Chain A
């Protein structure tokens, strides 16, 4: 018996139990944190016992939604272990492992789905030794916390090179940074990409993180830019270009009710797909989840059915009702993700918008990213606008310089006051769209939970 592991699991479980009876929300990472202090090898030891191994999902945007999609599709075949969002560091994985193992370290699931913060990808690869790795995209995000994108890419590349030959890498081929990061990978590589769309989203005049060919520093060109630096790229100077994807999306239609329909090509299989969540960004998450699940030989009809019934991940696309008033929530946290949300929301028929900008640690202390985000495209799209949060005035200022009319009386730093006032004053026919940063989302959830009967996606 491994005594160290036994004590670590025991302590982790006690911590979990104490947090649970104290009724505190959050603290999902604490059991893992304590367990890792006792046995730093815990993750390696326990993940090795997972029968079908682990899937690691990383990238700046879409981790949570992709992991949730994969789990739901595969849950009919496997008992799944999956770290809950907000704890995508190693300690979060350790928590999930500890809570789902017996005292002697036998795992209750036989497949691990782990969403991994891009900054800890390297340690995650080393400790977990995944069977499948998914790389979604890489954008600038809280540079104050993560440091520079180039450093992350270098770490990713080095970690991929060390993976076993039997590993499957599922990569976004529309992201030149990810394609370059995957060079010389020894395992099997499957790419996904967007080929064509029927919907005309407004172009994004966004700052791009990649302008130059990562291979030769020559000018990088695009046959079609889909968003930020994602698209069908090629270098004018060297041979670097988007490789042929195995899985691709065609004829994407983004509908006013925030539903989506599209055609999928998966190797030699073609099928149509409709589902109830919006945005081009989610198409990538769907493609990635198809990549993972087909490698487990999931029946295509089951796959289609599960995606069609999927309604979103916590706060990413969340429809709730408060006293018959319709509210739709989209989490925003960085320019690339927020730009995609801003392009998507005018498709709907909502009339009011509430933006909540916080600058707590989990949001990023630096709010300058709102100036890299294209609020200008919301001009004339909403009848009523409100802003709130610890940096409400920064947000008000940003909207003013985007030429968007906002009354000074609609700016409240206090989130609880703001949310209540806005909901009380809206009419039952309208929909309110709320764009909160991460801690603002948690605050909203807590606040609205008190109002009773509201169903949130599981966190």
Chain B
């Protein structure tokens, strides 16, 4: 069994430990004897197709984001096609913003996105910097319940915990589902209590931290969705996630105490 990962713009979009998400995906597959390949795709490369099961697109600083915005336009068609063919995608912060329609900076500059998500982001003077705790939307919650293999550790929650650091406020279009609702923190915009977005198997959110290591249930959801495309429904082998859940719980405790 093999899972093909594509890391988009790893040299430019790599703030706040987002690389940890790749490390997590690779290890959780490896521990289950699933082969993994990681291909880095960056500016200047122009593949004619994207034959990958999972895409990761992390956050970056402003200058990097405008360089990537230009290059991404050339890859927009094949990336959208891959997502329409059920490839799984996780984007965080800057990556999430570039997959929306546009980002309007505080200074009024418009950075073009590719409109995978029917959403836009507007720069603001509020820097939203804190732990971010959300509960997942009911549909994802059910999916995780059915795929997350529990062994010596019972799944107590499907909440996600991470750390957000952004000043852009994201507003979702009418038919776009968020990943979940904010329990503590700002989320998409600090106003409507939503966090992130889902379109097909593509996810966008503001959860750094890194996100996946501390949220193994969500990592496994992405792995099982990514394998499903090639191999149909798969039952994932259980792993000992006690350190993962300890880290999850201790971060949640800190978040709620503050």
Interface residues of A (CB under 8 A from B): 140, 143-144, 148-150, 207-208, 211-212, 217, 359, 365-372, 390-394, 396-398, 400-403, 408, 411, 413
Residue among B11, B20, B243 with most chain A CB within 10 A: B243
**Interface pair B20/A368, CB less than 8 Å apart:** yes
- B19 and A143 contact, CB distance less than 8 A: no
- How many Å lie between the Cα of A416 and that of B165 in the bound state? 31
Q: A150-B61, A212-B67, A401-B213 are in contact. Are A371 and B19 (CB under 8 A)?
A: yes
Most buried by B among A143, A394, A411, A413: A394
Neighbouring A residues of B27 by C-beta, 8 Å: 401, 403
> Is B254's CB under 8 angstroms from A394's CB?
no
Contacting residue for B246 out of A212, A390, A396, A398, CB 8 A: A396
In-complex Cβ contact of B243 among A212, A366, A371, A397 (8 A): A397
The answer to whether A211 touches B12 (Cβ under 8 A) is: yes
Q: Are B16 and A397 in contact (CB under 8 A)?
A: no
Q: A residues within 8 A CB of B90? A: none
Given A144-B165, A396-B247, A408-B243, 15 other A-B contacts at CB below 8 A? A144-B129, A149-B61, A150-B61, A207-B10, A207-B14, A208-B11, A212-B67, A366-B129, A367-B209, A368-B20, A372-B19, A393-B246, A398-B213, A401-B20, A401-B24
- The answer to the question of B63 belonging to the interface, with a C-beta cut-off of 8 Å to chain A, is yes
Q: Does B256 contact A (CB under 8 A)?
A: no
Contacts of B247 in A (CB 8 A): 393-394, 396-397
By a CB distance below 8 angstroms, the chain B residues around A148 are: 61-63
Rounded to whole angstroms, the CA-CA distance of A219 and B82 in the bound complex is 29
Least Cβ distance of A338 to chain B in Å? 12
Task: Enumerate chain A residues within 8 angstroms of B208, measured Cβ to Cβ.
Answer: 366, 368
**CA distance in complex: A370, B129 (Å):** 18
Judged by a CB distance under 8 angstroms, whether B175 is at the interface is no
CA distance A271 to B138 in the complex (A): 70
Question: Are the CB atoms of B14 and A371 closer together than 8 Å?
Answer: no
Chain B contacts for A365, CB-based, 8 A: 129-131, 163
Contact with A along B35-58 (1 / 0, CB 8 A): 000000000000000000000000
Shortest Cβ distance from residue A227 to the other chain B in the assembled complex, whole angstroms: 16
Chain B 220-246, CB-CB to A under 8 Å as 1, else 0, gives 000000000000000000000011101
B197-232 interface (Cβ within 8 A of A): 208-210, 213-214
Provide the bound-state CA to CA distance between A217 and B70, in Å. 13
Query: Once the chains bind, are A207 and B214 in contact (CB under 8 Å)?
Result: no
Distance in angstroms between the alpha carbons of A401 and B10 in the assembled complex: 19
A-B pairs, top 10 by smallest CB distance, nearest first, are A371-B17, A371-B20, A368-B17, A393-B247, A207-B14, A397-B247, A368-B16, A393-B246, A148-B61, A393-B250
Are B23 and A401 closer than 8 Å at their CB atoms?
Answer: yes
Chain A residue with Cβ nearest B22: A371
The answer to whether A370 and B243 have CB atoms under 8 Å apart is no
Residues of chain B within 8 A of A394, CB atoms compared: 214, 247, 250-251
B residues near A140, Cβ cutoff 8 Å: 15
Q: A390-B254, A393-B247, A396-B246 are in contact. Are A371 and B210 (CB under 8 A)?
A: yes
- Distance in angstroms between the alpha carbons of A402 and B20 in the assembled complex: 10
User: Looking at A211, A371, A408, which has the most chain B CB atoms within 10 Å of its CB?
Assistant: A371
Chain A residue at minimum C-beta to C-beta distance from B258: A365
Contacts of A371 in B (CB 8 A): 17-20, 23, 210, 213
Question: How many Å lie between the Cα of A367 and that of B131 in the bound state?
Answer: 10
